[in-house]
Structure 1
Amino acid sequence: MPKSPATPVPVSSIAEFEHSLDELEQLVTRMEGGELSLDESLSSFERGIGLYRQCQTALEQAELRVRLLLDPEAPDTAEPFDSRID
């Protein structure tokens, strides 16, 4: 029985990833500025870890989708195409 095609990622998932990444960048900038109290720094760090994990999960899911597109029968052995031009 043929496998069903991968379901497309909803635009909201992409928007959520981009929003999380943007928020993470803003947190890093604020923390690097050195203007936060210890409590604010710890809260920001905790939030940053959560955002990092969300982004990492989204990237892993995107990689899986690419692998499925490259070789739907055996995604674990799919090799990305070589984008270099010799």
Structure 2
Amino acid sequence: MARKSPAETSPVADFENSLEALEQLVEKMENGEMSLEESLAAYERGVGLYRRCQQALEQAELRVRLLSDPENPAAAEPFGTPRAEDV
């Protein structure tokens, strides 16, 4: 089975991969086996991973809000249901 390119990775998979990488990075840093320079590089990478995770969570929250908003007509329609203006 062919793997998806990074551009085709789903937001959920990207979040899970980023979170896992961040957890591994934190574990390495907590073990204290890195030099100062390696620790600084790991910290910088960790900040980037944290921001990716935070952004993915914000996007998911927005999607949930849009789908659960009673004033949003698209929220009440199941996917694939034609809207009146589409017919």
* Distance in 2 of aligned mates of 1:12 and 1:72: 27
What SS is found at the alignment partner of 1:36? coil
Residue 36 of structure 1, CA deviation: 0.3
Q: Which residue in 2 is equivalent to 1:66?
A: 64
Gaps spanning 5+ residues in structure 2: where?
Answer: 1-7, 73-87
Post-superposition Cα deviations, 1:27-55, rounded to whole Å, max 9, x if no partner, equal 00000000000000000000000000000
* Distance in 2 of aligned mates of 1:23 and 1:67: 28
Post-superposition Cα deviations, 1:48-73, rounded to whole Å, max 9, x if no partner, equal 00000000000000000010011063
Identity across aligned pairs (percent)? 68
Runs of 4+ in 1 over 3 A off after TM superposition: none
* Distance in 2 of aligned mates of 1:39 and 1:62: 35
Q: Which is greater in Rg?
A: 2
* Distance in 2 of aligned mates of 1:65 and 1:16: 16
Shift in CA distance, 72/48, structure 1 to aligned 2, threshold 3 Å = farther
TM-score (normalised: structure 1): 0.70
Given candidates 5, 12, 26, the residue that maps to 2:10 is: 12
Q: Which residue in 1 is equivalent to 2:44?
A: 46
Q: How many residues align?
A: 65
What SS is found at the alignment partner of 1:53? helix
Q: Which residue in 2 is equivalent to 1:23?
A: 21
* Distance in 1 of aligned mates of 2:18 and 2:70: 29
Higher helix share: 2
Q: Which residue in 2 is equivalent to 1:81?
A: none
